[in-house]
Amino acid sequence: MMHASPITRRSLAEELAERLRDLVISGGLLPGAKVDEAALCETFGVSRTPLREAIKIVASEGLLTLTPNRGARVATITGSEIAELFPIMGALEGLAGELATARLTDKHLLRLDALHDQICASRNNAKWLNYSKANRAFHELIFEIAGNVALQQTYQGLMVRIHAVRFVAQQPPDAWDQAVADHDGIMAALRARKSREVGRLLRRHLDNKAHAVIAALSAALSAAS
Amino acid sequence: MMHASPITRRSLAEELAERLRDLVISGGLLPGAKVDEAALCETFGVSRTPLREAIKIVASEGLLTLTPNRGARVATITGSEIAELFPIMGALEGLAGELATARLTDKHLLRLDALHDQICASRNNAKWLNYSKANRAFHELIFEIAGNVALQQTYQGLMVRIHAVRFVAQQPPDAWDQAVADHDGIMAALRARKSREVGRLLRRHLDNKAHAVIAALSAALSAAS
DNA sequence: TTTCTGAATTATGAATTCAGAATCTCTCCC
DNA sequence: GGGAGAGATTCTGAATTCATAATTCAGAAA
């Protein structure tokens, strides 16, 4: 028998949901901005039906906000939401760290080390885009090693809701230093295969991040007023 | 000024999404069953457009599975998915327990005690329906006390995906005994306001539950073959 | 019989249409 | 000048329509 051909076309709605997500996360649509159905239909070359399905999906994920008879807007994020989300992400990433430690191979450690080095280098020469890329990759790798797909998906679902702060509050350099210090500790615990410790440090890392973000946010808010 | 009128009719799609969810969770539509659009349009008295939007939403939550050009089916659950989901729920409920302990009032404790008593009573006279109701209420109350809305929502989102096992595997009585014993310990730790301990016990409780469910599932599967 | 083929039927995905709500605009009046 | 309100316009939500893919079923061939 021939090799089975994997022809899996997705529906327009799924495709559009992904495009919408990307638009929101990349900042193509800023928090609070109105989602113009007609314009998006034009740019994507589709009718309103699948686009509206996509909007409903992305709204159910929390990236858009629907108001009856008034359409969709890009979701905004408040300090109290951030204060809620970070501990959850901490619990999830703590679990990921524990699972990852149990499955950690030397090859994994090499990849983590490489990313950690990138993070440090980017911090040292202030390449903040590189820094956040490598940082994201580092955290994603931990989830990948943990090998729990649902865990990663749940985490990602919360993570995307945080994206909005990027457009409101910039992290000051000392927040990076704290993060790098956290990572140092995490790497040490990983190398020692102390899963409980890895979990604890990741929870604390997210807690530190939460404080830094909230501080940056309130600074931005008071500067605006 | 008059009291603001709460005439916020939700969209049909949102309404239908909730009905669909209820249908799936209540067992009105069993795992693996096809979602008949025409029949549902008929029963709900709506056109296909909002119904299909609702289907897309509920599918994005993981309760339905979409296959291109082949419509929607009620999601089924596998042992490996359960093995993934329970640790996540454990991490979340562990966090909820820690947060709840920090905010615990004596009034809260009374309500928890009342539910715990109901659970024990239902176990003793084998009222399974009462048991699971009181059990759910107990766990929900912990999240309510914790006061983190996003945490509860995330937990619920995972919880509903577990519903499908009810139709496949029944819990044996000794699993209930274990659960009641776990609850005893959790109550004691709550009364002592040992938040760390509450978290630890809740994680272990969910871990025990996972093992019980997986055992029941594999028993059901081997019985079926 | 059983299995294969292809037309008829049905279901799905997406575009279009339609009704009603929200928004805008222009006039009129103070 | 500065609203208040009628009417036009635009936008949203939902029904309908249409094209195409999947399924069913009758009939032919083994």
How does pLDDT run across A69-102, given as a tens digit for each residue?
Answer: 999 999 999 999 999 999 999 999 999 999 999 9
B126 membership: H or E segment, kind and range: none
Percent of chain A scoring above 70 in pLDDT: 96
Mean pLDDT on B211-225: 87
Same domain, A95 and A60: no
Same domain, A87 and A51: no
Q: Is the pLDDT of residue B26 over 90?
A: yes
Domain hosting residue B31, numbered range: 12-74
Q: What is the DSSP string of B39-58?
A: HHHHHHT--HHHHHHHHHHH
* CATH number of the domain residue A200 falls in: 1.20.120.530
The pLDDT of residue A224 is: 74
Flag whether A46 is in a domain: yes
How many domains is chain A built from? 2
CB spacing of A149 vs B13 below 8 angstroms: no
The pLDDT of residue A8 is: 55
Same domain, A113 and A216: yes
The pLDDT of residue B2 is: 36
Flag whether B118 is in a domain: yes
Q: What is the pLDDT of residues B159-216, one digit of tens each?
A: 999 998 988 888 888 888 999 999 999 999 999 999 999 999 999 999 999 999 999 9
Test the A interface: residue of B9, B69, B84 with most A CBs within 10 Å: B84
Same domain, B58 and B100: no
Same domain, B70 and B49: yes
Q: What is the mean pLDDT of chain B?
A: 93
The pLDDT of residue B4 is: 37
The pLDDT of residue A225 is: 67
Residue B47 backbone dihedrals phi, psi, to 5 degrees:
-85, 175
Same domain, A55 and A107: no
Nucleotide nearest to B35 (CA to C1'): C11
Tokens of A81: 């939401």
B51 near B44, Cβ under 8 Å?
yes
Out of B74, B90, B115, a domain closes at B74
B86 near B78, Cβ under 8 Å?
no
Flag whether A39 is in a domain: yes
The pLDDT of residue B89 is: 98
Same domain, A96 and A46: no
Out of A74, A103, A123, a domain closes at A74
Q: A-side interface with B, Cβ within 8 Å?
A: 8-11, 13-14, 17, 49, 52-53, 56-57, 60-61, 66, 68, 81, 84-85, 87-88, 90-92, 94-95, 99, 148-151, 154, 157-158
Flag whether A194 is in a domain: yes
Give the closest-approach CA distance of B75 to chain A in angstroms. 15
* CATH number of the domain residue A16 falls in: 1.10.10.10
Residue A200 corresponds to which amino acid? R
Q: Is the pLDDT of residue B131 over 80?
A: yes
Flag whether A7 is in a domain: no
Flag whether A2 is in a domain: no
Same domain, B125 and B56: no
Question: What is the spatial distance, in angstroms and rounded to an integer, between the CA atom of B6 and the C1' atom of C28?
Answer: 35
The pLDDT of residue A175 is: 86
C-alpha A118: how far from its chain's center? 19
Q: Is the pLDDT of residue B7 over 70?
A: no
A37 near A48, Cβ under 8 Å?
yes
The pLDDT of residue A7 is: 52
Residues in B touching A90 (Cβ below 8 Å): 95
Give the closest-approach CA distance of B84 to chain A in angstroms. 6
Same domain, A17 and A92: no
Residue A98 and residue A199: Cα distance in Å, rounded? 5
- pLDDT lower than 70: segments of chain A: 1-8, 225
Helices (H) and strands (E) in chain B, counts: 9, 2
Mean pLDDT on B79-83: 95
The single residue listed with the structure tokens 């529906």 is: A11
Give the closest-approach CA distance of B1 to chain A in angstroms. 24
Number of CB atoms found within 10 A of residue A90's CB: 22
What is the 8-class DSSP label of residue A52? Answer: H
Out of B28, B50, B74, a domain closes at B74
Of B9, B52, B87, the CB nearest to A68: B9
Same domain, B46 and B69: yes
The pLDDT of residue B224 is: 76
